Each structure stands twice: as C-alpha cells, then as structure tokens.
Amino acid sequence: MAEVIDVSRIFGEDVFNESTMRKRLPKDVFKKLKETMNTGRELDGSIAESVATAMKDWAIEKGATHYTHWFQPMTGITAEKHDSFIAPTGDGTVIMEFSGKELIKGETDASSFPSGGIRATFEARGYTAWDPTSFVFVKDTTLYIPTAFCSYTGEALDKKTPLLRSMAALSEQALRVLRLFGNTTSKRVIPTVGAEQEYFLVDKSVYEKRKDLLYTGRTLFGAPAPKGQEMEDHYFGVIKQRVSDYMKDLDIALWKLGVPSTTKHNEAAPAQHEMAPIFASANVAADQNQLAMEMMQKIAKKHDMVCLLHEKPFKGVNGSGKHDNWALSTDDGQNLLNPGKSPSENAQFLTFLAAVIKAVDDYAELLRLSVATAGNDHRLGAHEAPPAIISIFLGDELDEVVKAIIDGRTIVKKSSYFDLGIVTLPKFKKDNTDRNRTSPFAFTGNKFEFRSVGSTHNVSTPNIILNTIVAESLRVFADELEKATAENFDEVLHSLLVKTFKQHSRVIFNGNGYDEVWVEEATKKRGLPNLVSTVDALPHFADQKSIELFGRHKVFTEREIHARTEILLENYYKTLNIEAQTAAQMVKRDYAPAVMSYQKVLCDVIASKKNVGVDASVELDTVNRIASLSASMLAKNEELYGLLTKVKELSGVETIARFYHDEIFAKMNEIREIVDTLETMVASSYWPVPTYGEILFSVK
C-alpha cells in the first residue's frame, strides 16, 4: 500500500510562519511583527527579544543547535555562517541563548565575496540584516534567517537588498496611480513571482566520468546521440519510477520548508524535467527558488543521480530556463494585470499594461542584461528559448485593442460596441490567447511571463529590473495624470494611453521570434536592440540612462551599479576561463591519448593485412582521416593555451570579457567540432568519456 502523505499537516512544518508566530508570540508582539511584514517598514526594536526567544525555542524543539544569517551575495548562490545557540554558564555547563540583536543583525567577513571594488580586500567587515518579510526556517539542525547583506559603508553586496528596494519603489508609484482611480484602501502593491524551474537528472556514475560536467556544469564536447528529442515522446510523458521517487522526495522536502511546489513533469529533452511553484511575493519567491535549487541537487544525490541546472548542459537538445511569471497585486487582493469587467477596471488595467509596454521598450537593454550569463548565451535563440531581442507578446485580442486605441476606432465584439474613447475593453476570457514560446515577454491572461531567464539565475536580478522600470513608467504616468481635474481625467488618461501605445508599439510582436525575417524587421525597421551575447549586454548597466533610473528610485547607487557591472563581467570571463582550461586539459589528457591508442590499433591491423597481402585501404583511409583530425585538434589546443596566456596581458574587465568571447570561446568551438567528429570515428571501447546517449538515457 502506498504511503499516504498528509500535505496539509507537513506543509510549512519546518517554517516559523504566520500560524506558528500566532501561537508562540504574545498578541501585541505578533501584531507589531505582522505590521512590519505587511508594510515593509522597519521592525520595532522593542519586540526583537520576544521574537528571538520564541524562534529559538521553536527551533530547538525542531532539533536545531545553530542559527545562520542566510544571504545571497553576488556569487549567484547563497551563503551562510553557522553559530551555535550555546552560551557557557561558568560552571562547565551551557545554556541555549539567542538575542534580539543576533536575530536582527549579524556580522560576517565580507573580504572573499565579490564587491566590484566597493571595498579593499583588507576591509573585511560586512553586515547581514534580517528580512522579516521572508519566513525563517529550520534545515539540517540550523535555524535559517533570510537576510540582506551590505558592506561596512552601507553599499548592497547582495541581491536581496536591491530587490526589496525595487519592490518599495514599485509600490510607491503604483499607489499613486491607484489613488487616481479612486482606490483609497490598498496600502501596498506587491510584485508577485512564480518561477518555473527546469533541470536535468543524470546518473551519478556517468556524471563522475565527465570532467566538463564536474567543473563547468555543462558538456564541452559531445556528438549527438542517435536519439534525442525529435520524437517528442519525453515531453509530458510517463515519468520513470526512479525520477518519480525523486520528485516525491523533493516535493515533501519543499513542502516542509513552506515552498509551494505544485507542478512536476517531463520536459522536452531526454532526462529533462520541470518543477513549478505557486506565486509568492518577489522576495519570498527568490528565497524559495534558491532553496528549491539547493534541495533539487541535494535530494538527487540520495537517489544516486545528479541534478544539472546549467542552461545548456547538452548541445543540440533543449536547454533549461526559469520562466519568471510576474504580476502585480495589491495587499487587499486585487490583481492589477487582470483586465476586469467594468469600464473603470478596464481603464486601470490599460494604464498598467501601458506602463509595462513603455518600460520594456524604454529599457530593453536592462531586461536583456538581467538574464545575461555565459550559460544563458548558449540557450537564448536556440529554438527552445526566446531570442536575444526583447519584445512583448500580447495575443491577438489584446493586440487588437491596443491598435484600436491608437487608431481611435471602436471594437465590435459579439454584437456589442465598446467605445474606446471612454477607455473600455471587451470582456476577456481568462486565457485570451495562445502562449507564444518564442516571445521573451508574453502576456498570459493576468500576468507576464519573462521566458528569457536562465535556469541557474537568481530570479532577484530580472525582478529588480522589472520592478524598477515599471515603477519609472508609473511615475511618469502619475506625474501627468495628477495634473488632471475630475472633469477632464478621462480625456487626459485617454490621451496618455494613445500617446504611450503609439510611441512604444514597436516592442509588441506576436509572430515567430525564431524567424530571421523578425531579426531584420526588429533591428532595421523597428530599431530594437539585438544584444546577442553577455558582453554586448552587460556594459549597458552603467549607461547614464540606467544610472539615473536606479538613482531616482533609490534601487542602486552609481557606485553599486559600476561595482555590479564589473562583478558580472568578471563572472562571465571567469566562467569561460574555467571552461577553456577544462577543455584544453580534456583534449590533452583524455581525447588525444584515446585517439592515439585507436590509431595504433588501426596501424597494427594495416600492418598485419599487408604482411599477408590483404587490402587495407579502408583502414588506411580511416587512420589517415583520424590522424589529420587529431593533428588539427592538438594544434588548435596549443592555440587555445596560447590565447589563455595572452589574455593575462590584458586589462579592464570589459576588454578581457570581450577577448574571452571573441577569441577563446571561438577557439573552443573549433576544437569541439573536431573532437565531436572524432567521437563518431573512434571505437566506443576507446572513447574516454560517456557519450551523450549514455548520459541522457542513464536514468533507467
């Protein structure tokens, strides 16, 4: 009989959530803490001791012996330092203590975290500060406290701090607009996110035989397997029992940690799968996704598998993304991207829709760079992900509404007339259109799906950008609409919408993003940026326009922007350096010896045939082709080593990143083409590493 899982009982059992707080905190303390959580305002210091004591007692009951301030530095992963609750009593025993001060603020050595020159190496002090809007939890006998991370001088060194800043900026500007539509009850507007997570599962035994997977997370070499995804039989197919057992354990682990994992299925490529959660506020969603990725990898090992989160671990098959479903909700439950049923709701929806369209068009470069990494460069535009050109998909029905507003005409729908002069819309079905998988930024009924985000990404970064650029559009709208009177508000609003849609409709595209005709149209006719690679995109972070935007909304200081630009470019070329060093070593120590051994076998066969007068032309032709390819492989490998030496002479992060992209990465691709050809010619018993077929179909 199958084990019965009581999800309602186990969900959040390892989380100090609102239900637990209500039971364990005094009523007045709970009320003040809840107010902080709901408003985002600073925690009342007078309740810190009470909250800390309740947390400690609860955590100890859960088996916790330590606590950690859990933060998200600019490394792309999380960080933690564990301190025990013990405090010596002087008589050789200890008691368990945890103060309000320890809860709210921590100190950590920041010297080894990326700072982009914000502080010198010897300036080691950094601070962590509790984010009370994200629940603490117990994992592996430690109480985890989600925190922000900043330098001694106050600059953000993490991803949570600017995300919280961007959420505050968006809320402020959205409320200004809502007040103009008569909303006097909402106190906060919250960007909500649902981050779909794609991943691969491979057997641990084959993974450990691939140095490229071990060091880089992706295969640097590999010829296509005889069978890939061309039969389309894996997508939504029956889940293998071993994978199903893994998914079950993953769900249980995530549910206990309060992560609302809800969807699981096979994805397009062999060995590829997906997990999707229910929506949460942007900062909570970011925390939960970081936790989900950690648990995915940890639980896979218990099943003798490895979870690959790289955007493109295998060439020629589907890559992995993390579709960022983004919406706007008020604290009293109104979805601002829901078209609504009444004229006033329609008008409000159109205003927020126009703000998003304007934001995406005005700051397409920022959206593109928010998903720019060495790994995602392999995926974008590769026929399983959107192209690098940022555009918006609205669907036929909503696109027609926008065009009608621009043209000043009336929409006729189901024998009912809708006068766009007073800003009304036809009543929408919840899903009014198909999903365009080639669109980077698609409206899907009551939210936008940012499909360009890579599977390894911390979703904080794209949501920082989204929140800030939409806040800017709403600021511009509010400045204009606040000048209107009650008598002419509809007229001013209509003029604003017409102007906005006219100026920014170039970013709306409902067609096939993979079509080369679109690239031509987008770049030459519409003037949209096509930032193909990370090195093309990242420098735009420090554009004057970007600096002014982030400064205006207090999301990043100019110093923080320059620091992050440097960190991201460094991360790009360091990633390529590891890949290049790994590729060069594999060629020299694995592929070359294997090819030479096989050549010797062929030469021995040729010699033996000649000795008895048997024709050996087939073997001779084969060995000559292999010898030629081998010589070319080794020559190009030496050229790669030369480039890795030459890059040391360069200075400036952008110059170095560009050299890695243009020279080193290009040389790696040349070598790969030769190695992959040799793989198809050398006997399998001599090939030194598991092939694509052996890896992709390793989980039985």
Give the chain's domains with CATH numbers. Answer: 7-158 (3.10.20.70), 164-196+322-556 (no CATH), 224-320 (3.30.590.10), 571-696 (1.20.120.1560)
DSSP letters, 168-237, are: HHHHHHHHHHHHHTT--S---EEEEEEE-EEEEEEEHHHHTT-HHHHHHSS-S--PPPS--STT--STT-
pLDDT at 3: 75
Q: b/e string for 612-638 if b means 16 or more Cβ within 10 A?
A: eeeebeebbebbeebeebbebbbebbe
Distance from C-alpha of 73 to C-alpha of 160, rounded to nearest angstrom? 9
Q: Which of these ranges, 125-134, 283-292, 642-651, has the smallest mean pLDDT?
A: 125-134
What is the radius of gyration, based on Cα positions, of the chain?
28
In this structure, what are the phi and psi dihedrals at residue 202, rounded to the nearest 5 degrees? -130, 160
Instruction: Say if residue 345's pLDDT is above 90.
Output: no
The two tokens of residue 108 are 């950590």
Q: pLDDT confidence of 430, banded at 50, 70, 90? A: very low
pTM, whole model, 2 decimals? 0.93
Q: Is the pLDDT of residue 154 over 90?
A: no
CB-based contact 149:126 (threshold 8 Å): yes
Q: Is the pLDDT of residue 423 over 80?
A: no
483-515 per-residue burial string, b: 16 or more CB within 10 A, e: under 16: ebeeeeeeebbbebbbebbeebbbbbbbeebee
Strands 305-308 and 324-330, sheet pairing? unpaired
Which of 355, 356, 339 lies closest to 347 in space, CA to CA? 339
Token reading at 392: 């918006």
Q: pLDDT tens, 374-419?
A: 999 999 977 678 899 999 999 888 898 899 899 888 766 554 555 5
**What is the torsional sign of CA 457, 460, 461, 467?**
positive
Please state which of the ranges 563-567, 616-620, 660-664 shows the lowest mean pLDDT: 616-620
The share of the chain scoring above pLDDT 90, in percent, equals 77
Read off the amino acid at residue 70. W
Confidence at 76, pLDDT banded by 50, 70, 90: confident
User: Is the confidence at residue 552, as pLDDT, over 80?
Assistant: yes
Average pLDDT, the chain: 91
Q: How far is CA 651 from the centre of its chain?
A: 30
pLDDT tens for 191-245 read 999 999 999 999 999 999 999 999 999 999 999 998 888 777 788 889 999 999 9
pLDDT at 429: 54
Q: Is residue 509's pLDDT more than 80? A: yes
When pLDDT is averaged across residues 153-165 and rounded to a whole number, the result is 91
Residue 43: its pLDDT value, please? 77
Q: Give pLDDT, residue 425.
A: 59
Two structure tokens written together for 47: 């309740």
Task: Answer positive or negative: Cα dihedral of 193, 199, 204, 210.
Answer: negative
Taking phi over 0 as left and psi of -120 to 50 as alpha, with beta for the rest, 378 belongs to alpha
pLDDT at residue 692 greater than cutoff 90: yes
448-473 pLDDT per residue, tens? 999 999 999 999 999 999 999 999 99
- pLDDT exceeds 60 at position 151: yes
Looking at residues 91-116, what average pLDDT do you find? Answer: 77
Q: Is the pLDDT of residue 666 over 90?
A: yes
Q: What is the pLDDT of residue 352?
A: 97
